[in-house]
Every structure is written in C-alpha cells, then in structure tokens.
Amino acid sequence: MLRRLGVTLRSGIRSSNINYSSNGVITRLYSNVSPQANQKPQQDDNGIESFKRNQTEYLFGVRVDPRQQKEHLERIANDPRLKGLDPNSPQYRYQTQLIHREIVGNNTKDQKKFERSERFKAMVFGIVLLVGIVSAHQTFMHWEYLKAKFTHKYYYKEVAESQDKVNSVDDPLRNLKSTEMMEKNLRKEISAIENLGSKVIDSREKSGLYLFGFDWTRLPARLNYFDGKFIKDVKLYRDFVVVVLENGEVATVANDHKVTPLNLPFKVEKSLASGDYVYFLTNKGNINYITAEPIQQVSTRTWYGMSHATTPYKTLETNAPVSDISSGQSHMLLLTKNGSVQIVRTSEKGANVGQYGIPQYSPFESESMPINVPHDIQLLNKELALQSNGSKYIRTRQFTSIDSGANHNVVLESSGAVWTWGQNNYGQCGIDVAFTTNSQPIPRKVIEPNQNYTVNRVFAGGDTTYLKCADDRNNQEFIQAFGNGLVGQLGVSRYLQVCSQPSTMKSITGLSEYDEKQRKVVPIGVKELSVGTSHFFVTLNNLGNQKDVMVGGDNCCGQYGNGKLAKSSKPVYIPKLLEPIDLDESTRDMSILSMKLNDSTVNRMLLLDGYRLTGDKVKVEQVIAAGDNKSALFYKRV
C-alpha cells in the first residue's frame, strides 16, 4: 500500500515538484528539480542548467531525519481527508496537494522558529561574552582590592576577632582599652624623653630648642644644651642637625642628641647640607663649607701663645655677595644680592636629572660639572628684549626668592613670574608629566604674573613645590602646591602621586576671626611655611601674640609631635608642648594627660610671637621647622 501510494503520489503531484524514493520515503519537498533514480544523465553537466538540476535545499525540522520523513508519509496516507477518495481521482490529487502545502507551511514556520532560536542564542552568547570581558577587565584592574577583600580575614584574623568582640563604639570595654593604650603610649614617650636626658622646662620662661621625629620621640623633647639661647636657623637632616645661634656660632646635633660646637672664624647667618659638605652663609655674603662627616677640629696657635680648636673650611668663589642659599641632594642654589641666581654642584654621587639648569651640563651632554664651583645660569638671569626702535638688547632679570627640592629648583622673579627646572617625574616643576618632560634641563617659566593674585615666596622640599600667594582684591593669603603628594604633603585633602598643576590648600584658605579693635571680621593670613622632605608646617597669622600652627604630610617617624604615626593629607593642629605641671608626680593623671594630648583642637599648640618671656624684657617668637623626617621648635629674637 505504501509503495503504491508513493507511485501514485509521484505520478499525481509532479507539478508540485514533490519526489519520492522507490521505497516510498520523501527525499525532497518542493524543490526546483529532483533527481530520479531512473533518469538518464544529461550530456551537459557543466552548464547552469546542470547546476540548477542538481541544487538542493537545506532541510529544517522533521525533514532532516529520514525516519521522520517516513512518519510524515504515513501521516499523509492516513490523513482523514483522503479516506473514501479514489487515488486516481482529481479530488484525491487536490487533497494531496493541500496536505503537501500544509506540510510546506509548517516547515517554513519551523525554519523561522529555528532562525529566531539561533538569533536568540547568538544574542545571549554575545551578552555573556561581553559581561565576561568586562568582568575580567574589572577583576584585573581591581585585583589588589579584591584579593585584600577576600583574604583579609585570613591574614588579619586576630584583628577581625577583636573587632567582633567590640559590639559598639559606646562599649565601655572598648573605651577602656583605648584609654589604656593611649596611657601606655604616653608613658613610653615620656620615658624616651627622660632617657635622652631632657629636662622639661616651662616654655614661657626660658628659650631653647625642641626636637622630635626620627629616632628620638614622637613628642617634642627639649635639648637642654640650648636652654636660654636664641637661634637664627635650624636645618634637620637624616644624620645630624645644624643649629645657627643668634651670635653666629654653629653647633651640630647627632641622632643621639650629642651636641658638637663648631669653632668657626666667621659669623654664620644660615647653614645647609648638600652632598658631601655643609655650607654656611656668612654675614658678609660669603659661602664657606666644610666636609659633612666627620667634622674635624684642628688646633691653631695664637700670637700670645694660646691655642684653640678650629674647624678647617674653604670658600666658594662667587662673583657677588650672596643673600640666600638653598640645597638639594647634590646641588646648591645661590641668590646674590644683585638678584641673580647661581648653581653649585656639591657631590659626584647624585644623578644628573637637569637640576643644574645649564645646557652645557644637561643630562644629554657628556661633560661633567665641577664640584664646588659656582656657575651663573645665563638662560635664567638674562633675556633678549626689544627697544622702542626695534633693536634687540640683553636685559637682566631680578629674582627675590629661591628654594630647592631633592632634584629640582624653583625661583621667583621680581615681576611675579615663577621659574622651575630639574626633575619632573611627579610634576614638581609645574609641567605635565610625560616621557619627554620627565626632566626639565633648562629653566622654564611655569607661572606668569597674574592680576588675580601674586606669588610672594616659593618653597620646595623633596619632590614637592609650594607657593605662598596673596589675593589683594579679597585681602586673603593662601598656599598652592604641586608635585608629589603620595603621603599627603600637598595638603589638598587628597593623596596624589602626580600633580603638575598648582592646587590650593583649601582647608587653610578663607579663615577669618573677629578683631575687637576694628570691630569687624578680618581674614587670617599665612605667617610662615616650613617645608621638609615629605611634611610641612604652616604658621597662621592670627591676631595677638599667639599663632596657630598646622602640619600635614608624612608622619612615619612622629615628626608631627603629636605622639602618633598617622599621616594627614590636610593640615591639622598639633597638641601643646609638655609643661612641668603636666609631669608633676603629685598632680599628674596619665589618663587626663593622654586625652588632653589626643585632643589637638582644644589643646592645640600656639606659637609665641612678640612675647616677653618671664623675667626678660626681650620679645621673642617661637619658630617651627620641618626637615628630613624630623622637626624642631626654637626661639628667635624678634
């Protein structure tokens, strides 16, 4: 019956191009040409007609499986619409054709459904792939954070357990532990001060010198050798401290607080160390220098037979008297009294990164700059100008302020322009950081004279530059900084590794107070700025004879003087000095004292300015200085 049905269908539906095999299974539905088993091969097998005859369609749905094709053939044969009809009748052929069209329509629907399914699969696969790529990128970019997030409980198990034990901030157990810890730290710092042989004296009765940071203490410790003495200048370096007294004498302080006076046959105004030498600016404008270590004393005999120890020194040959000096790791900058700038190389160890500012000795030249020979920076001191008649002439620039970082320099022109040169890997020269600008070998003007504000002084320390500015329109002073701010030394409330544009310390800008004499609110200016390697002190110009002082930057060695090691990216107050009444055994309460030192807002340090010490008619001021992970506080005669 099935074979006979196949023969009947083959003969009856030829116009519909439905072909069947000899065993009755459908081999192709609705194609243009279907090859027959009993057809003779065509002679022209290479033409377009042969291609059309042999082309086939892609099958979808049930037509792919021959078993399903056989089932469909049986379904057609058993279709109720063919019952009772003669296979050779026109009605039978017509119904068969209708059934065939129905099958073709269903196959078309199956094909569209299959296409939609494949499109949906492709879309889902694309979304999954996109999410995977984004997730992989985010995981790679935040790998350190994710690793710390999922492994901190393993590495900091004890800390996590201790945090779980404290349920809330109001838990008395936590407050007790915190208070005990502060008392323990305070006792440790007081013990360190006592071990240094430091005797606590009332800071309002006698002048002197306080040191803190590095291997000393986290609280200011008084160095009793300088009690009752006034000091001009203090420079703090990693291995020693240089102190210039009011009478021009010099003494060095080692890290063990051992004081060594230097017997120099000249009066010193300012001192600094750079490279292998210690340099002294004399009251006559000369620059004398000695070896940094060891500092030797030699005996000389006077005309009346007496002998005394003197320190051997040498003098730099400058072309004009010097008014100010600054130094980096391997160079020194000189400002002469006529306003010109000179450079001196101080060591052969330091790398040349453009800090000399002379094309002849740039990092791209092989010629080496000689040691301790001042060189005039012609490109900085001279400029080519035009006269009214159009002729050119060389004009001399005048400079009013200089300073040096580790390997860069900044100078202030009398017109208000700021020039920089040297290393620029953190943007400390005020130039955008790039491969071609990593070093600025010649001086470059980075700030033009501005009508909105003026730059009064320039400062530099480590890899950071500072500008002390004044806004005359608003009667306001402020500080700008640029360069390295990785430990907060920019003071802009953010930790920035690179900052090539001047950023304002907003936390100390716009401060004001009420003036009772003028009966109005007046702005608080900036009195002084002291810059160290990675921290700074800002002294505000409050009314009266007590000035607020704030500190910012690194505090790895306790150079804040607050008994802590936490750094700050914004200027913060520091606590007052320890007084004898605080350490009196009869009245001392360590818990109250520790809480007092911890509250640096109410119990903040106020530097004396124009103050008369007890029993002294001379007015003095307290000056705070920042250095290489060290700090100092000393008394200076007003």
Strands 546-553 and 606-612, by their bridges, are: antiparallel
343 neighbors 419 (Cβ within 8 angstroms): no
- Written as six digits, the tokens of 32 are 């243009």
Average pLDDT over residues 221-241: 94
Whose tokens are 């040691």? That residue is 371
pLDDT at 65 over 90: no
pLDDT at 448 over 90: yes
Cα–Cα distance between 325 and 335 in angstroms, integer?
6
pLDDT at 49 over 80: no
Q: What backbone phi and psi angles, to 5 degrees, belong to 42?
A: -75, 150
- Written as six digits, the tokens of 433 are 């950081």
Name the burial class of residue 83, with classes exposed (0-12), middle (13-18) and buried (19+) by CB atoms within 10 angstroms of its CB.
exposed
pLDDT at 492 over 50: yes
Confidence tier at 164 by pLDDT (50, 70, 90): low
Average pLDDT over residues 150-168: 61
E strands present in 512-574: 512-515, 520-523, 525-531, 535-541, 546-553, 568-573
pLDDT digit string (tens) for 578-599? 888 888 776 677 888 888 888 8
Confidence tier at 452 by pLDDT (50, 70, 90): confident
pLDDT digit string (tens) for 240-250? 999 999 999 99
Between residues 237 and 13, the one the model is more confident about: 237
Residue 163 pLDDT? 55
Cα–Cα distance between 285 and 346 in angstroms, integer?
19
Sign of the C-alpha dihedral, residues 551, 555, 558, 562?
Answer: positive
Q: What backbone phi and psi angles, to 5 degrees, belong to 127?
A: -65, -45
Residue 601 pLDDT? 83
Q: What is the percent of the chain with per-residue pLDDT over 70, rounded to a whole number?
A: 83
Cα–Cα distance between 474 and 453 in angstroms, integer?
10
Mean of the per-residue pLDDT values of the chain: 84
Whose tokens are 């000899």? That residue is 22
Cα–Cα distance between 520 and 225 in angstroms, integer?
45
Cα–Cα distance between 276 and 345 in angstroms, integer?
10
